[in-house]
DNA sequence: AGGGTGACCCGCT
DNA sequence: CAGCGGGCCACCC
């Protein structure tokens, strides 16, 4: 296990600790394909794996991004983990723009 | 700020 | 079985 892109994504996301947030591009990069940022989100969407903290994965512009169960839920979960979010943006995240 | 293109995966036709 | 389009995105113009 861990040969395919998806498997790598699972591993990377599963390694995200409580209160930490990573961007889709960062996950994609760690998974071996920096340009597969879109695929990462798609994988979560089509295969919402239980036990996988996909809510800790946000956009590279610090916006929370989408969520299978709803963006509102995603924000709530992140806040409960100690992540400061304001106006749909993660405070303290280095956005590229 | 908005639109268009690029890269990758999955489901449907 | 093969092709097309859409999606929890990112970057450039």
Positions of A annotated as catalytic residues are 54
The protein residue nearest C9 (Cα–C1') is: A38
Tens of pLDDT, residue by residue over A42-92, are 999 988 888 899 999 999 999 999 999 999 999 999 999 999 999 999 999
Q: Answer yes or no: is pLDDT of A97 > 70.
A: no
* A87-90, long-range: CB < 8 A, 24+ apart: A88/A63, A88/A64, A89/A62, A89/A63, A89/A64, A90/A21, A90/A58, A90/A62, A90/A63, A90/A64
Contact A70, A64 (CB under 8 A): no
Q: What is the pTM of this model?
A: 0.91
CATH topology classification for A5-90:
Arc Repressor Mutant, subunit A (1.10.10)
Asked whether residue A52, judged by its CB, lies under 7 Å from any atom of the DNA or RNA strand B, the reply is no
Can you give the length of chain A in residues? 97
């Amino acid at each position: 296990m861990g040969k395919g892109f998806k498997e790598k994504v699972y591993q990377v996301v599963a390694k995200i600790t409580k209160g930490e947030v990573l961007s889709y591009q960062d996950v994609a990069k760690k998974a071996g394909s920096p340009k597969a940022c879109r695929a990462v989100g798609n994988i979560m969407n089509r295969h919402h794996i239980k036990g996988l903290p996909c809510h800790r994965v946000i956009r590279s512009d610090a916006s929370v991004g989408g969520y299978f169960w709803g963006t509102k839920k995603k924000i709530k979960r992140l806040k409960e983990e100690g992540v400061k979010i304001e106006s749909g943006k993660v405070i303290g995240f280095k956005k590229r723009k």
